[in-house]
Amino acid sequence: MKSNYKRSLQPICSILCWIAGIWTVGSIARPSVAGTITNTKNVIVMIGDGMGWEMTRAAAIQRQINQGATGNSLNDFYTSGQGTGLSWQTLANFGLVTTYGTTIAPANGTFSTNNSALTGSNSATGASPVRPGFTFTPTFNPGTTPTGGATNPNPFAVGNLVGYDPARGGSVPWDDAYYGGTPGAGFDREYIKYSYPDSANTATTLYTGVKSYNNAIGVDIFEKALKSTLAISAEKGKATGLVTSVPIDHATPGAAAANVNRRNKYDAIFPNLDNILQQELRIYQPTVLLGGGNPASNPLPLPPGGQVEPPVDYTYITRDTYDYLKANPINNRYGYTFIERGPDATQALLDAAALIDPDDPNGNRLLGLYGARGQNGNLPINSADGTYRNTGLDMFSLFSSAQAGDSRNIIPGIPNPDTQRPLLLGETDASFIATELNQNPRLKELTQAALDVLGRDREGFWLMVEGGDIDWAAHDNNLDNLIGATLDFNDSVQYVIDWINNNGGWEQNLLIVTADHDHYFTLRDDYPELLQTVGADDMTFSLNTPAGAGHFWGSEGATAPTGLTKYKWGNHTNRPVPVFYQGKGSEVLSSLVGQGFTDYGKSVPGIPGLLDQTHIAITQQSALETVPEPTTIAGLLGFGASLLVLRRRK
């Protein structure tokens, strides 16, 4: 079912106005007439969360080895550029993309990437006043700390864009200085840690073309709602979809279909709308919404002696919302067919998808809620060997337990991660993993179900697919999970490429594969050899120095490879990320390399050789521009002429 935004908004308009006054009926209204023709029929954006250039290479080398490649050094595989080994590395175009957001000073004069331009005196989205005297200044201000840190007696005298300086961070992610080489003039290995972005503000930029602050979900620095490419697609009469391996109301899916000032506003008791999930379900209403966040998927301790039912935690969906959907899986206030984790989950999902008609204005949409027990809300996590052997273990216990002061830290610098699954009575580790794989689809299968539904829409569709647990693995400094999650994402991308080849080809489809941000992760030259002789499992959990493990997190391992410097950074960086793309409208993105853009009415300079996430949004918007639908002989002639112009642009 396509969303009828006008119909769905009328009963709740007063609630929206009460919350913040930032949403309007007209801005996301679905047209009541037949859909229009756009430059590109189908637009597909696939985001490997946190999947920087080095993370991509780590998985690409593993996959090449899995396919029989040999070689002991990075030079035997690749050391620069687009690379080979993964599905998206076969796409026609490659570039590097800056990911920076905004930085704003409160009254104390210390700039922070977490601040909006409002005072924050009211927690409701858009309800606080603007900071007195604030005006947006589009100059670069990276600061000196992870969250900003620049100070000035006049809090508004320094710029409000973090920016990126290739002299300090390298013009390419494979700059030799990150691998222990001699730094160039001005290079600083710590620079990319300063004012790093998060998944909320980067996703907001990817969908809207507007820079914002960390935590911003589909809002600008003034906490005003922005129109996403999902909303634009819906206005054009297209079906829309959001698919993710992590909770459906996490930052990356949320920024496409919600407008809230803080990313942790996951859900609230009905009828509250100042949260992500309720806006997804009641305002933007993507035709397909599939991912994690099931209450049974969070890591909770079992009572002594065990129990027969999984413990539940309502972090990503309130008990009110969940109980209502469970009791009303078909005829509910949201207009969705609700399906969740359970026996033979993949087949149940595909069967449900087959019944959804995206062109029926009175039919249901599809909502799937999954997640493996013990895993913080995401799908079963894969491992480098493809066995899912880490399924059910806490996703955030490796890096944290290696830090001094952590209660689990026995030897400083050596982790003591979670090894206990939440086994029910009578379960073994093997049967637990088998159950979770049976009761949860993989990301590829979610993608398959989404395309099955969306591909039947006559006007086409917009779809976002996220491999979200790539980022979670990187936060945890977990190489094994990182490779496994990336390989799962690879399978999903390959499925999309195959689908495109069988459904209109590259003349009707645009595919963009990118990351929202980077992590500080570095491979050593013997990484390929160690993968083959030791394996990613031991490289992750048993070998605790960069020299022994063939990789490290943070900057220290480049200069102290034999010390306990492997687990030195569990967060993002401001380094550019790769983008791979192909299809109808891809020439727009290629034309924007090195170009500037406009933000808040101000000109922002481009960086030679680099794209920005703003350009990815512009490319989607261009692909979604309307081509007049022919209804007369004159219209047919004009339509033909427009197609000729588009063809010449290719």
CA distance 579 to 572: 17
What percent of the chain has a predicted confidence (pLDDT) above 90? 84
Q: Is the dihedral of CA 53, 58, 63, 69 positive or negative?
A: positive
pLDDT of residue 362: 87
CA end-to-end distance (rounded Å), the chain: 33
pLDDT of residue 615: 99
**Does position 473 have pLDDT exceeding 80, yes or no?**
yes
Which domains are present in the chain?
5-48+68-491+522-627 (3.40.720.10)
Mean pLDDT across 323-331: 97
CA distance 604 to 592: 13
C-beta of residue 62 within 8 angstroms of C-beta of residue 527: no
- 394 annotated as a binding-site residue: no
Q: Which of 80-84, 193-197, 309-313, 620-624 has the lowest mean pLDDT?
A: 309-313
For the stretch 358-371, pLDDT in tens is 999 888 999 999 99
CA distance 89 to 488: 15
Name beta bridge partners: 577. 97
Which of the two residues, 382 and 6, has the higher pLDDT score?
382
Structure tokens of 77? Answer: 């595989």
For the stretch 243-256, pLDDT in tens is 999 999 999 999 99
Radius of gyration of the chain (CA): 24
pLDDT of residue 193: 97
SS3 for 226?
Answer: coil
Could you give the residue numbers annotated as active site?
199
Query: Whole-model pTM above 0.85?
Result: yes
**Does position 58 have pLDDT exceeding 70, yes or no?**
yes
Confidence of residue 36 (pLDDT cuts 50, 70, 90): low
Q: Which of 5-14, 60-69, 409-418 has the lowest mean pLDDT?
A: 5-14
CA distance 205 to 196: 14
What percent of the chain has a predicted confidence (pLDDT) above 70? 90
Mean pLDDT across 317-332: 98
Confidence of residue 409 (pLDDT cuts 50, 70, 90): confident
**CA-wise closest residue to 394 among 304, 313, 326, 321:** 313
CA distances from 393 to 43, 381, 436, 605 (A): 35, 9, 12, 45
CA distance 113 to 571: 14
C-beta of residue 539 within 8 angstroms of C-beta of residue 163: no
Confidence of residue 628 (pLDDT cuts 50, 70, 90): confident
Instruction: Give residue 13's Cα distance to chain centre.
Output: 30
- 475 annotated as a binding-site residue: yes
SS3 for 104?
Answer: strand
The 3-state secondary structure of 303-356, one letter per residue:
CCCCCCCCCCCCCCCCHHHHHHHHHCCCCCCCCEEEEECCCCHHHHHHHHHHCC
- 323 annotated as a binding-site residue: no
- 615 annotated as a binding-site residue: no
Mean pLDDT across 370-394: 97
For the stretch 201-235, pLDDT in tens is 999 999 999 999 999 999 999 999 999 999 999 99
CA distance 280 to 321: 13
Q: What is the average pLDDT value for the chain, to the nearest integer? A: 91
- 340 annotated as a binding-site residue: no
Confidence of residue 633 (pLDDT cuts 50, 70, 90): very low
pLDDT of residue 412: 79
- Helix, strand and coil in the chain, % to nearest 5: 35, 15, 50
Q: Which of 17-26, 211-220, 394-403 has the lowest mean pLDDT?
A: 17-26
Structure tokens of 439? Answer: 């009761």
Q: Which of 51-55, 492-496, 627-631 has the lowest mean pLDDT?
A: 627-631
Q: Fill in the DSSP letter of residue 511.
A: E
**CA-wise closest residue to 470 among 456, 453, 489:** 489
For the stretch 272-322, pLDDT in tens is 999 999 999 999 999 999 999 999 998 777 877 778 888 899 999 999 999
CA distance 648 to 609: 25
Confidence of residue 52 (pLDDT cuts 50, 70, 90): very high
Structure tokens of 350? Answer: 């595909």
- 252 annotated as a binding-site residue: yes
CA distance 291 to 369: 6
For the stretch 135-145, pLDDT in tens is 999 999 999 99
pLDDT of residue 300: 77
